[in-house]
Amino acid sequence: MANSNARLPRLEDVAERAGVSHQTVSRVINKHPNVSKATRERVEAAIAELGYRRNTAARSLVTRRSQTIGVLGSELSQYGPANTLLGVEQAARDAGYFVSIAAVRTVSREAIFDAIQHFLDQSVDGIVVIVPHAETLLALEEQAPGIPVVAVGASGSETVSGAMVDQRRGAELAVRHLIEQGHDRIGHIAGPQDWIDGAARAEGWSAALRAAGLADDLLVEGDWSAGSGYEIGRGLAAERAATAIFVGNDQMSLGLLRAFNEAGVRVPEDVSVVGFDDQPESGYFTPPLTTVRQDFEELGRRCMDLMLAALANGETATTVVEPELVIRRSTAALA
C-alpha cells in the first residue's frame, strides 16, 4: 500500500520513526549485539511499518562487497551442469549471496575472458566456473581475476579451488563391473579428450583394464551427443570387436543403443553397455541403462562451501564427490 510516488524509505526514515539515530537502525539490521532489547523491537517495528528494505548499492559501495557470486558456465542446459548450477544457487542463497550467471556458448579464451570481464564489471565477490574444459583452467590461471575462484573439475591450485566428482573412480567402477561379468574385450566411447571429464574417464577405463591384464585398445572419441553415440555405434555394430562398451555419458549411450537396435545387436545379450551420469531418463532407455551416478547438486553445494571458505580466509582447497554404480539391465554376464 506504499505510495509509489514517494521514494523508498531509507535508514533515516526508519530512525526518525523509531526515535533513534540511523546508526542504531543500521546496528539492528546488521544484528550487532550491543543494542538494547527495547530499542531493537522499536526499530524492527518501524522497519515493518515502513516496509523498509536495505539498499544494496549503498551497502556495496561502502563495504566493497556485492554479496554476489558469478557462475560461469557452458552447456548449462545439460543435465550435469544445470544441476550443478542449482546446487550452487541453493547453497549461495542459503548463505545470503546472490547468484549471477554468464553462459559461454562456444568455449574459447575470448569467451571466457569476456565472461570474467562481465563479472568484474559487476564486482562479484567470487566466481564459480562450470566449464569442464581443460582450456578453461589455463585461461583462468592466465587471467587471474583477483577474487576467489572455484572450478568444477579442477584439482585445485594456489589461486583456484577445485570441486570434482572422482571420474577415474567412476570409470573404474564401471569397468570392474564388466570384468566381473566375464567380459575381456571392453571398448570405450570417450567424450572429447580436451574436456577434463572426458579425459579422466578414459584414463580410468584404461587403468582398470590394465590392472586386470586386459587390452585398452578399443577407444573411439565422441562429442557427448546422442548423435555421435549413434554414428560410432553403427561402426561398432559392424565390427563386433568388443562384448562390452563403457560409454562416456548417458546421451551417447542412448545413441549407441539406438544404433545397436537398428543393427540387430541385442543389449545385453550380445553386448553389454554402461553409461555415465545417470540422468533421470536413463532408467527408461531400451534397455534400462547401467550407469555411473554423479550427484551434481552436491557438487554445486560443495563449490559454494569452498567459495565461502575462500571468501572468509582466502585459502584454496579441494573436494571430491564419490560416484556410484547403478546396475540396471544393459549389462549381463558374458554368455
Partner DNA sequence: GATGAATTTGTTAGCGCTCACAATGGAGGC
Partner DNA sequence: GCCTCCATTGTGAGCGCTAACAAATTCATC
Q: Which chain residues interact with DNA by CB under 7 A?
A: 7-8, 10-12, 19-24, 26-27, 29-30, 33-36, 38-39, 52, 54-55, 58-59, 61-63
Report the Cα 9 to chain-centroid distance in Å. 39
User: Which one of DNA, its own copies, none interacts with residue 33, CB within 5 to 8 A by kind?
Assistant: DNA
Nearer to its own copies, 34 or 63 (CB): 63
Write the binding mask 208 to 247 for its own copies: x where contact by CB under 8 A, - elsewhere. Answer: -----------------xxx-xx-----------------
Q: Which range of residues in 30-38, 72-80, 165-173, 196-204 is near its own copies by CB under 8 A?
A: 72-80
Q: Residue 55 CB, nearest distance to DNA (Å)?
A: 3
100 is a site residue for its own copies (CB under 8 A) = yes
User: Which one of its own copies, DNA, none interacts with residue 105, CB within 5 to 8 A by kind?
Assistant: its own copies
32 is a site residue for its own copies (CB under 8 A) = no
Q: 21 Cβ partners below 8 Å, 6+ apart?
A: 15
Nearer to DNA, 53 or 266 (CB): 53
Nearer to DNA, 11 or 152 (CB): 11
β 68-74/98-104 pair status: parallel
314 is a site residue for its own copies (CB under 8 A) = no
Q: Which range of residues in 25-33, 38-46, 234-242, 280-288 is near its own copies by CB under 8 A?
A: 280-288
Q: Which three cell numbers, joined as nine digits, stand for 70?
A: 558469478
β 324-326/291-293 pair status: antiparallel
Nearest Cα to Cα of residue 64 among 150, 128, 123 = 123
Q: Residue 125 CB, nearest distance to its own copies (Å)?
A: 12
Q: Residue 63 CB, nearest distance to its own copies (Å)?
A: 9
Q: Which range of residues in 13-21, 29-37, 71-79, 154-162 is near its own copies by CB under 8 A?
A: 71-79
The H or E element that residue 3 is part of is none
Q: Which range of residues in 25-33, 113-121, 184-192, 314-322 is near its own copies by CB under 8 A?
A: 113-121
Rounded CA-CA distance 208/184 in Å is 12
Say which residue the cell 549381463 belongs to.
Answer: 332
Q: 25 Cβ partners below 8 Å, 6+ apart?
A: 11, 14, 15, 18, 43, 46, 47
SS3 115: helix
Rounded CA-CA distance 280/225 in Å is 17
Give the per-residue SS3 of 134-197: HHHHHHHHHHCCCCCEEEECCCCCCCEEEEEECHHHHHHHHHHHHHHCCCCCEEEEECCCCEHH
Q: Residue 4 CB, nearest distance to DNA (Å)?
A: 14
321 is a site residue for its own copies (CB under 8 A) = no
Nearer to DNA, 66 or 251 (CB): 66
β 149-152/186-190 pair status: unpaired
User: Which one of DNA, its own copies, none interacts with residue 280, CB within 5 to 8 A by kind?
Assistant: its own copies
Nearer to DNA, 21 or 155 (CB): 21
Specify the length of the chain in residues: 335
Query: Which string of DSSP letters, residue by residue, matches 261-294?
Result: HHHT--TTTT-EEE-SB--TTGGGSSSPPBEEE-
Q: Count residues contacting its own copies (CB under 8 A)?
A: 53
Query: CB 27: neighbour CB atoms within 10 A?
Result: 18
Note the residues at the interface with its own copies (CB under 8 A). 4, 53-61, 66, 68, 76-77, 79, 82-83, 85-86, 89-90, 93, 98-103, 105, 118, 120-123, 146, 225-227, 229-230, 251, 254-255, 257-258, 261, 280-281, 283-286, 288
